[in-house]
Amino acid sequence: MAIGVFDSGVGGLTVLRALRTTLPGRDFIYLGDTARLPYGTKSAASVVRYAGQAADALVGRGLSCLVVACNTASAVALPELRSRYAPLPVVGVVEPGAAAACAATRRGRIAVLATEGTVRAGAYERAIRALRPQAAVVSAACPLFVALAEEGWTEGEVVDLVARRYLEPLLATSTAPDVLLLGCTHFPVLAEALARVAGSDVRIVDSAATTAAAVEGMLGAVDGTTQGRGRLQLLATDDAARFARVGARFLGEAIEPATVEVVDLGG
């Protein structure tokens, strides 16, 4: 059975990319809820409903594991999804991301860059302090990063200006972070610009690789991996052509619009 992965849009393709690198023999089904993105500005009740509908669409196709590649859905809806689909393994990106940040920090000072919904939920702070109780954690909502990533604006003056506007208040404090945790799957495509603004003393981490490692550890203990390159199905809830064009930047390879199935998740 395939591993199902969903996100509010194309950002979760960064997680899918890491999963396919780590588990090349596995089949994957990816769903981007592009008709309703971003989840980060929605109420918690809406995020739980949307996440449940996306998960239902994937679970109905038969899965060995469900990966919630959306940070906001992971922060808000993960307990509900785990309860609904038990004993199916359901993996979010918050706990792996927190583990990556704790492993990377030298001084225990971590800044979480995320969407409004993820910041509001406080899930990253709880996950980080569960691993490192004395850590100094600050979170900042950076909604414009999502728009820049969706438009493919990953370099240039506008990107640098927005990055400085978000980062400089964090870096100017007496407890300036030595790790920036990218708490949104859109943000890794902006990593070079963020590193340029933050400076060489600040490490930038995201949850993609650690999420892939968590899934590998879980499924490896259950039923091993297959041989050869697994199959990939791509689903979107709106505009296959745009999904293919924008998603290629996150997946790291070309996507043919004809291979993207458009699905309706309901209201």
Does 222 have pLDDT greater than 80? no
160 shares a domain with 217: no
pLDDT tens readout for residues 46-66: 999 999 999 999 999 999 999
Distances (CA, A) of 141 to 69, 82, 108: 18, 26, 20
221 shares a domain with 182: no
197 shares a domain with 158: yes
Is 65 assigned a catalytic role?
A: no
Amino acid at 89: P
pLDDT at 221: 47
pLDDT tens readout for residues 148-180: 988 889 999 999 999 999 999 999 988 899 999
pLDDT at 226: 53
Of the candidates 65, 102, 142, 184, the residue annotated as catalytic is 184
pLDDT at 152: 85
74 shares a domain with 6: yes
The pTM assigned to this predicted structure is 0.91
Of the candidates 65, 70, 102, 142, the residue annotated as catalytic is 70
In whole numbers, what is the pLDDT of the chain averaged over residues?
93
Q: How far apart are CA 113 and CA 138, in angstroms?
A: 9
Total number of domains in the chain: 2
Is 184 assigned a catalytic role?
A: yes
pLDDT at 254: 97
194 shares a domain with 99: yes
Longest dimension (CA), the chain: 52
Looking up residue 156, the CATH number of its domain turns out to be 3.40.50.1860
What domain range includes position 198?
95-207
Does 38 have pLDDT greater than 70? yes
Q: Which of 186, 207, 228 is the last residue of a domain?
A: 207
Q: How far apart are CA 248 and CA 22, in angstroms?
A: 19
Averaged pLDDT, 239-262: 96
Q: How far apart are CA 244 and CA 218, in angstroms?
A: 30
